[in-house]
Amino acid sequence: MGSTTHAPSSATTTRSRAVLRDVEPGSTVECVLCGERVKFQAKVRHKQIICNVYEGDRWDRVEHFHAPCYEEANEPHGPVDTTPVVKARRSAPQAEPAEV
């Protein structure tokens, strides 16, 4: 408690998020750690880490990492959310109207 108006140097209220995703064909992003293209290769199903980076309270940018590079960087944007993307919620029976 008290008057601590100083911004703490370790402002680790990172709202930045990191998620694990497949690398998609035609990807042109570069890994911010090693600087190499995060390339799609059909035979090697690469994973990438996509981070929404916040500076303070505001979203600033998106960063991409190779999955191994993110680990190497000591998870700069927090633990990776590996929850798979739910592609289509077809729980509702009427998701697609059955046309003739």
Site residues (CB under 5 A) for Zn ion? Answer: 31, 33-34, 66, 69
CB 50 within 8 A of CB 21: yes
16 vs 68, beta carbon nearer Zn ion = 68
For residues 19 and 82, what is the distance between their CA atoms, to the nearest angstrom? 6
Shortest distance, position 22 Cβ to Zn ion, whole Å: 16
Rounded to whole angstroms, how far apart are CA atoms 100 and 98?
7
Residue in the shown chain whose Cβ atom is closest to Zn ion: 31
Cβ-based nearer residue to Zn ion, 17 or 46: 46
